[in-house]
Amino acid sequence: MHLTRCLLLLCLLWLCLLGALPAVATASETASPGEAAQTSSALPTVPGYTEVQRLASPHATQAAAADAHRLYAISNTTVATYDRTTGKLLATASAEGTEHLNSGFLHAGKLYAAHSNYPELPHESDIRVFDPETNSLRVHHVFPDPPGSLVWCLRRDGHWWCCFAWYGDDNARSVLIEYADDDLATEVRRLHFPPEVVADFDGMSASGGIWDGDTILASHHHYPVLYRLQVPADPQATMLDLVETLACPFPGQGIAVDPATAGGLVGIDRPARAIVLATPVTPPCCEATPGSRRSLLLQGSQTP
């Protein structure tokens, strides 16, 4: 009798565990902090970019970049190179110690990518450079005491612009820093994101950024929008200005300029694991922002 009761109790316990499994599985699939709170930007959005091509890639999880002949997909640890005509995977590259690559941009034939130890603390951040000719990835610069997790970096007129992110309740600490020299030792100024943009981050941050004329286009972590931000003329100012919020086909993550398409961008669709190419949309009801690359292209005063 005692054995029978024990078996019955074990059966009941097993059934209870089976009933609890779906709840456990659902909890394990929870998105990043804040990602489930909203599904789209709360800011007024105007048409911006539309998809023209995509290429499936298991490495399209953090960012993408492009040159005239190749497409690059960036994951946490790997840069994958594709022939943009055939879509063929040409090579993959990684390096010891690579943990969390982010957005990348091409400069002088090389791909420079932001890298951090996210989500670990204290913050560690550096810039890594990928050489397509040697298919090698190495450390370019280490920030000794980074003010956050490096998510994207750019060059303009000999200066570096580096975005360091903070998440959750510390979103407002995300900062864009201008450095005056190639060794990133001379800090010029720090610019924070506008409150309305920080509120729209949904607990995350701006995952990518590019220069577009005299403005910066910053991407969201998981919304298909781009924030057009203006660097204030006042050198003492400490905050970027929001010009407009554009719809785009990239549900978040890093973006880059596509030099092979007039005014085009390249990004990723992380849920679908794909590199996405996009071109600007300017319907009759909307005007391109004066001074932007899109505006100059439409006027015919700038070549892609």
C-alpha span between 74 and 79 (Å, rounded): 5
Contact indicator for 277, 259 with CB cutoff of 8 Å: no
Helix residue ranges, H only, the chain: 2-28, 195-200, 293-299
Span 154-190, pLDDT tens digits: 999 999 999 999 999 999 999 999 999 888 999 999 9
d(CA 25, CA 216): 40
In order of 62, 75, 151, the CA distances from 79 in angstroms are 10, 7, 16
Tell me what pLDDT residue 19 has: 35
Which residues does the chain have with pLDDT short of 50?
1-37, 284-286, 296-304
In single-letter form, the type of residue at position 208 comes to G
For residue 191, the cross-strand partners are 176
pLDDT at position 276: 98
Which residues are within 8 A (CB) of 61 and not within 5 positions of it... i.e. 6 or more apart?
Answer: 73, 74, 75, 76, 253, 268, 270, 273
Is 216 strand, coil or helix?
Answer: strand
pLDDT of amino acid 9: 43
Report the pLDDT value the prediction gives residue 1, as an integer from 0 to 100.
43
Q: What is the pLDDT of residue 56?
A: 98
- Nearest alpha carbon to residue 277 among 293, 292, 261, 288: 261
Read off the pTM: 0.82
* Distance between CA atoms of residues 105 and 160, nearest Å: 12
pLDDT at site 262: 86
Amino acid identity at 131 = D
For residues 212 and 228, what is the distance between their CA atoms, to the nearest angstrom? 9
Q: What is the pLDDT of residue 289?
A: 61
Spatial distance between the Cα atoms of 78 and 20, rounded to a whole number of angstroms: 37
Per-domain residue ranges for the chain? 43-299
Which DSSP symbol is given to 38?
Answer: -
In this structure, the number of other CB atoms found within 10 A of the CB of residue 195 comes to: 11
Task: Please give the CATH number for the structural domain made up of 43-299.
Answer: 2.115.10.20
Q: Residue 304: what pLDDT?
A: 39
d(CA 189, CA 80): 34
Which pLDDT does position 6 carry in this prediction?
A: 46
Find all residues with CB under 8 Å of 196, minimum gap 6, and list them: 43, 242
Cβ atoms 157, 202 nearer than 8 A: no
Task: Give tens-digit pLDDT for 256-290.
Answer: 999 998 899 999 999 999 999 999 997 544 455 65
pLDDT, residue 287, reads 55
Note the residue count of the chain.
304
Nearest C-alpha neighbor of 103 from the set 165, 145, 156, 56: 165
